[in-house]
Homo-oligomer: A and B are copies of this chain.
Amino acid sequence: MELREAKENFIQAWGQLGSNWGVSKAMAQIHALLLISPKPMSTDEIMKELNISRGNANMNVRELLSWGLAYKKFLPGERREYFFAEKDIWDVAKKVGRERKKRELEPVLKMVNEVKDIKGRNKHAQEFRKVSKEVGKFARKTETALDLISRANESTFFKWFMK
């Protein structure tokens, strides 16, 4: 396979992956592009390569920076900013996990905490208390596990399972 075609596949698959997480396709595609680029890229290069607008490129590069998935690089004698991706895949996974925890787990924890003291003694109230308590317990354990994972290194993590 030619590099051109492979790049296209890689970028499309990564974009698809992004959509499945509620990450914009452009953000995931820029990430893919930077991941496979041997050198930092400017906004203009990104726009051209992916056929997206300046505004879109800029907004999604900022988002990648805020997730810690890309970094800035200033080239000597150059005014414009260049961007490069975090290439340690374990680190990428941890950073994505951290954002997903923020968006998925935390709202659930907040909610179960708010609803835990419900009035009523009928079946509906009892079932509600039971289920929301279970959900809360599970969410807290998951939070603890994610915190441990985010401090572990890759080989430690996989050894937990493989033994």
Residue from B22, B119, B148, B162 within 8 A of A144 (CB atoms): B162
A-to-B contact residues, CB < 8 Å: 1-3, 6-7, 9-10, 13-14, 16-17, 19-22, 35-39, 87, 89-90, 93, 100, 103-104, 107-108, 110-111, 114-115, 117-120, 123-128, 131-132, 134-135, 137-138, 141-142, 144-145, 148-149, 158, 160-162
Q: Which of A21, A131, A148, A158 has the most CB of B within 10 A?
A: A131
When distances are taken between beta carbons in the complex, the residues of chain B under 8 Å from A7 are 128
Q: Closest residue to A139 on the B side, CB-wise?
A: B89
CA of A158 to CA of B148, assembled, Å: 11
Copies in the complex: 2
Q: Could you tell me if B107 and A16 are in contact, using CB atoms closer than 8 angstroms?
A: yes
Q: Could you tell me if B1 and A117 are in contact, using CB atoms closer than 8 angstroms?
A: yes
CA of A128 to CA of B118, assembled, Å: 55
When distances are taken between beta carbons in the complex, the residues of chain B under 8 Å from A104 are 17, 20-21
**Would A132 and B36 be within 8 Å (CB), given that A6-B118, A22-B20, A89-B138 are in contact?**
yes
Q: What is the distance, in angstroms, from A3's C-beta to the closest C-beta of chain B?
A: 5
* Additional 7 contacts, C-beta under 8 A, given A1-B114, A38-B126, A145-B161: A2-B120, A10-B132, A17-B108, A36-B127, A38-B127, A87-B131, A160-B161
Task: Pick 12 A–B contacts, CB within 8 A, sort by A.
Answer: A2-B118, A2-B120, A3-B118, A7-B128, A9-B114, A9-B115, A10-B115, A13-B107, A14-B108, A17-B108, A37-B124, A38-B123
Q: Closest residue to A5 on the B side, CB-wise?
A: B115
